[in-house]
Amino acid sequence: MPIVNNVTRLLDSKKIPYKAFELPVEKLSAGETAIQLGLDPQLVYKTIVVTRTKGKPILAVIPGPHRVDLKLLAAVLGEKRINLPTEREAEELTGLQAGGISPLALVNKGFQVVVASDAQNMSEFHISGGQRGLNVRIAVKHLVDLTHARFAVISAADPVNSVVK
């Protein structure tokens, strides 16, 4: 039986087409997810929680082989300083486990979502389904519409994650 959670219920209620993929429930990187699903790693996006001095954290949605560029993201948001929280802090801020953090699970929770401009010309991509072990393929447009996200240049290739092991 397919996994049903708040993300799949939200997508179903809004009649947004998606495809859910079950994965092992341990924390997987975007690269490991791509391998499990037999996908180009550039199609699997990860959500990075970024904190600012005041206000709700930001969700940076970037290609799996990339790293978030804090200077670029800060400039886009007009922030002087932003930071990467620890994994534990990110979990506390979102209420989700690392490896399962998804902007779809945080719709209407006050998080600002910024999607890497790389996705702008894609029809669909893969993101976390809001829990470990669930990945969803969704149209980029639908994610942007649901989360009120904006596109920006916020990431760069990460030499460590660019090589899939």
Range of the domain at 30: 6-157
Spatial contact of 13 and 100, defined as CB atoms under 8 Å apart: no
pLDDT at 80: 93
pLDDT at 162 exceeding the cut of 80 = no
pLDDT at 154 exceeding the cut of 90 = yes
Amino acid of residue 28: L
Q: How many C-beta atoms surround the C-beta of residue 11 within 10 A? A: 19
Strands 134-139 and 124-128: antiparallel
| Alpha carbon distance 164, 100 (integer Å) | 20
pLDDT at 1: 62
Question: How many CA atoms within 13 Å lie on the side-chain side of 62?
Answer: 24
| Alpha carbon distance 102, 46 (integer Å) | 8
Mean pLDDT of 6-20: 97
CATH of the domain at 129: 3.90.960.10
Residue 165 maps to a domain: no
Which of 162, 124, 164, 165 is closest to 144 using CA atoms? 124
Residue 101 maps to a domain: yes
Q: Tell me: the pLDDT tens digits for 118-139? A: 999 999 999 999 999 999 999 9
Residue 80 maps to a domain: yes
pLDDT at 163 exceeding the cut of 70 = no
Residue 164 maps to a domain: no
Q: Tell me: the pLDDT tens digits for 42-91? A: 999 999 999 999 989 999 999 999 999 999 999 999 999 999 999 999 99
Residue 1 maps to a domain: no
What's the domain count of the chain? 1
pLDDT band, residue 28 (cuts 50/70/90)? very high
| Alpha carbon distance 52, 24 (integer Å) | 33
